[in-house]
Amino acid sequence: MGNTSIKKTSELSNFFNEIFLNRRRKNPKYSMRAFARDLSLTQGRLWELIHGRYIPGAKVTERISELLKLSPEDKSRMQMLIAAEKAQPVSTMRSVSNDEFAMISDWEHLAIFNLISTKGFDHTINSIVARLEISQLQAEGALNRLVDQGLVLEEDGRYVPAFTNITTQNEVPSEVLREFHRQIIGRSVTSLQRDSVDSRSITSMVFPANVKNLAKAKKIIAEFNVRMAELMDKGDTTEVYSLAVQLVPITVAGR
């Protein structure tokens, strides 16, 4: 997760989001799962439709129009947006706002998001509980929130990530992000006590620093993060790892 630029939200996404939000204003408990049900689509199909991964044919488009009770003008607009979406590149990233991230900021959400794509995962709550050493209540709650936000798709008894990565603006001050980083650092402490040195790497350095080079240092770290993720993702992925890089001042400036 990092500061990543992706394709802007499409007009088709805005079209369906407007309808969804109008329904949610009337019923605050209304979810994407309920929206998919009301459109006679699987939740996976709904998110594929919104993000340009699924282009419905004439029959499905007509059915959606009837279920939404669209006016002739809105029906024509939807058809035009669906046609236009065919020419758009598929985004493999999902950028979430701070408010959206607040719903999934506990570490187990991103752990589950990545765990479900690993080789050998059996797509059960018990497996999540065992692999992450969390409670069943935590596992069920986190998975449901990921599904409700459209970050994970549920199809034929399997859970599938809707995107290859979830991103947020990590330079924006936020208590939610700070708490997330505290939790990830805490997982490193857990690994330090639990795991052998063969399965982890924890290193530290202390050095004098010229703060004028900090911007360049942050850029190097960001590039390193991407390269490390690409390396560890090659071949069969069987585990979930976290990478937490801290470049922080030890001294108090001006004293």
Q: Where are the domains of the chain?
A: 11-85
Chain centroid offset of residue 62 CA? 31
How far does Cα 78 stand from its chain's mean position? 27
Backbone angles phi, psi at 93, to 5 degrees: -120, 150
Whole-Å CA distances, 48 to 131, 153, 178: 29, 9, 32
Give residue 179's pLDDT: 93
3-state secondary structure 3-57: CCCCCCCCHHHHHHHHHHHHHHHHCCCCCHHHHHHHCCCCHHHHHHHHCCCCCCC
Residue 89: predicted pLDDT: 53
Question: Residue 8 is encoded by which pair of tokens?
Answer: 């802007």
Nearest residue to 205 (alpha-carbon basis) of 182, 193, 221 = 221
The stretches of 93-207 forming alpha helices (DSSP H) are 98-102, 107-115, 125-132, 136-148, 175-194
Q: Residue 53: its pLDDT value, please?
A: 60
Residue 132 makes CB contacts below 8 A (sequence gap 6+) with 108, 111, 112, 115, 139
Task: Name the nearest CA neighbour of 59 among 40, 46, 74.
Answer: 40
What pLDDT score was predicted for residue 151?
A: 85
Rounded CA separation 204/245 (Å):
10
Residue 15: is it exposed, middle or buried by C-beta count within 10 angstroms (0-12/13-18/19+)?
middle
State the virtual CA torsion across 35, 39, 42, 48 in degrees, nearest 10.
Answer: -80
Q: What's phi and psi for 14, nearest 5 deg?
A: -60, -40
* 127 token code pair: 């497996």
| Cα torsion angle, 86, 91, 92, 97, sign | negative
The pLDDT score that the predictor gives to residue 10 is 65
**Which helix (H) or strand (E) element contains residue 75?**
helix 72-85
Q: How far, CA to CA in Å, does 143 sit from each of 37, 84, 148, 157? A: 18, 33, 9, 13
pLDDT tens, residue order, the chain (255 aa)? 443 333 344 677 788 888 888 888 999 888 888 998 998 888 777 876 776 566 677 778 888 899 999 899 988 988 888 777 655 554 567 778 777 888 999 999 999 999 999 999 999 999 999 999 999 999 999 999 998 887 888 766 788 887 878 887 655 568 888 999 999 999 999 999 999 999 999 999 999 999 999 999 999 999 999 899 999 999 999 999 999 999 999 999 877
Q: Are 54 and 47 in contact (CB under 8 A)?
A: no
